[in-house]
Chain A
């Protein structure tokens, strides 16, 4: 372990760790409103480190759905991580061995991936390990704090806090949808489909986890057919260069 490289990683990812704290605060509050204990909400964050996946997992748990539904939900919602891990793997090259890769994979979130890909110097094991430290602490600590706060606050405040995570989702999606037409189309289509699965007869009998999967696959699939990304852009790296998306704090806290 190279100390200097490790501290460089810790320093670079500190803003992400702080951002994660506030997002996971919302997750903790929501998990408690779903009836989970503080310790269990915290355990989910410590072991998963992903916002959308955890949220979908929460709805699957709340519905008491099957484990297959849990697996399918996570596979679809977290599928983008496979692409990020592939790209990261290529950038890391032979300098990073298999054993450290097993650790790095655990915390390869959107933001940590963006930091790793943006680094101009070669990636080292120590640097990558350093990147994970504060985001893991922030994500877990924020969940704990949000869950604790939500269990002691009066009901009216708790109810208000339960929309915090939704608010963050809106804050992630809207600026992207505003800038890029295909993303606007994906967003509107997915929301419309989600309405069908909530209100339309027969369709509203589909459990919520599976409904999220179907909405996601249909909306992303239709839009991928209608608006395929230009060749050079169809790479997660392109995400980092999308104007304003990863720059600054707005994008730094979207696990």
Chain B
């Protein structure tokens, strides 16, 4: 299937989710379960997408693990988004160099 069909479907779906409640459906969501569910979706999908996928994103599981560990530690200490990401990349780079040396 053409890549552009995927992109079109992805863009239209995302747009409709944002557009319809702003124009047509303007009823408030009353269900406490549904609202809690929606509040938990971002953390759930980010966690599911990151782990264990990050372990296979690099050339070796070990360097992926190093990148993840550094990211978690720095994020725990409240470092900014860019710092966390940059240091995570650096950890992967350094550990891959070390692995090739060994």
**A41 nearest CB across to chain B (Å):** 10
Interface residues of B in 30-86 (CB under 8 A from A): 32-54, 57-59, 63-64, 67-68, 71-72, 74-76, 78-82, 84-86
**Which one of A3-11, A79-87, A119-127 contacts B?**
A79-87
Q: A interface, by DSSP: helix, strand, loop or mixed?
A: helix
Structural contact, B14 and A53, CB atoms closer than 8 A: yes
Check A137 for interface membership: any CB of B closer than 8 A.
no
Structural contact, B43 and A190, CB atoms closer than 8 A: yes
* Docked complex Cα distance between A198 and B33 (Å): 29
Check B20 for interface membership: any CB of A closer than 8 A.
yes
Check A138 for interface membership: any CB of B closer than 8 A.
no
Structural contact, B22 and A74, CB atoms closer than 8 A: no
Q: Which 8 residue pairs of A and B lie closest in terms of their CB atoms, listed nearest first?
A: A167-B88, A174-B75, A215-B48, A167-B85, A105-B19, A234-B35, A171-B84, A160-B93
Residues of B with C-beta under 8 A to A188? 47
Count CB-based A-B contacts (< 8 Å). Answer: 317
Check A133 for interface membership: any CB of B closer than 8 A.
no
**B21 nearest CB across to chain A (Å):** 4
Check B5 for interface membership: any CB of A closer than 8 A.
yes
Listed residue (B25, B41, B88) with the most chain A CB atoms within 10 angstroms of its CB: B41
* Docked complex Cα distance between A159 and B4 (Å): 26
Could you tell me which B residues sit within 8 Å of A by CB distance? 1, 3, 5-11, 13-15, 17-23, 25-29, 32-54, 57-59, 63-64, 67-68, 71-72, 74-76, 78-82, 84-90, 92-93, 96-97
- B83 closest partner in A (C-beta): A171
What mask results when residues 225 to 255 of chain A are scored 1 for a CB within 8 Å of chain B, else 0? 1011101001110110000100011101110
Check A78 for interface membership: any CB of B closer than 8 A.
yes
Structural contact, A168 and B84, CB atoms closer than 8 A: yes
* Docked complex Cα distance between A171 and B13 (Å): 27
Structural contact, B21 and A212, CB atoms closer than 8 A: no
**A146 nearest CB across to chain B (Å):** 11
Known: A160-B89, A166-B67, A167-B84. A219 touches B22 (CB 8 A): no
Structural contact, A229 and B32, CB atoms closer than 8 A: yes
Residues of B with C-beta under 8 A to A198? 52-53
Check A70 for interface membership: any CB of B closer than 8 A.
yes
**A208 nearest CB across to chain B (Å):** 8
